[in-house]
Amino acid sequence: MLQNKLGFKGATHQEEAERNWMECLNLCMTRIKSATLEPDCDDSTVMKLHIQSVDDVYCALQILAVSKDKDFLDMHLIKKNFWPLLNSWSHHLVLNSNAEDGKTVSDACMIGVLRGVTSCLTAMIACQKVKHPSQNVFNLAVIYFGTICKLLLSFTVQYKKTAPITVQCATIATVMALSFCDPDESYTRVHLWLASTQSDVPTKPKAKNDRSHPHLNQLAALYHDCSLRKMAHWMEGRAKNLDPSQHGKTLTQLLWG
């Protein structure tokens, strides 16, 4: 039971159960807000998201998403909890170019929010596909996916130099994980960002014959879905109707050379 997932006892009455669900959600959000970025033990130039009991947090959010209806996902999970944090972080970036003074939402929290959006939407979509395999992805997921794509586009254009590369990579990971919402749009946005950052100076010197993307390791560290390479192949397959001349290299070529 969800109540036990993060330490709550099983409830015997509906009202008590509802209270426990909200307490559990608040605890999840408290841990996401307290998230930190820590160097990877094998590569100190790569930052990894650290959240207390991270698997429990995102598992609990997924259970909440599929156990409640779309209105709960929309109002309580996303609009009330995730979106205010995302908007606060974005607003600070626009006004202060990511300066730390006055920053109320950390980069780690922003990355935790993006992962939360991914976890909740993928869980809800998976549940939908089990019950109604022939249905298109529900409209709410497509709308929120579009918002994340716009955020990624801003990193490709206006805020390429000022937005932290960790948050940019986390946004790429989110768009890729949710690419089934709109395969063509996701391919276009991810390809554009990868191409625009291909000449960035890597944080760690690469071998002479290494043609991989300079941010591949950071992206891989923040991608929490299936294999990154498998997802890139899937996106390429679903985007076959796109004009290759508009994109040049494939995602696989941009990422791994």
In tens digits, what is the pLDDT along the chain, a chain of 257 residues? 444 544 455 555 667 767 778 888 999 999 999 999 999 999 999 999 999 989 899 999 998 888 888 888 889 899 999 999 999 999 999 988 777 888 999 999 999 999 999 999 998 888 887 777 777 777 888 999 999 999 999 999 899 999 999 999 999 999 999 998 999 999 999 999 999 999 998 877 778 788 999 999 999 999 987 799 999 999 998 876 665 555 678 899 999 98
Query: What pLDDT, on a 0 to 100 scale, did the predictor assign at position 131?
Result: 78
Q: Domain boundaries in the chain?
A: 2-256
Helices (H), the chain: 2-5, 14-33, 54-67, 70-72, 83-96, 107-131, 139-156, 165-177, 183-196, 216-222, 228-238, 251-256
pTM of the model: 0.90
Query: What pLDDT, on a 0 to 100 scale, did the predictor assign at position 10?
Result: 54
Q: How many CB atoms lie within 10 A of CB 222?
A: 23
Query: What pLDDT, on a 0 to 100 scale, did the predictor assign at position 1?
Result: 45
Length of the chain in terms of residues written:
257
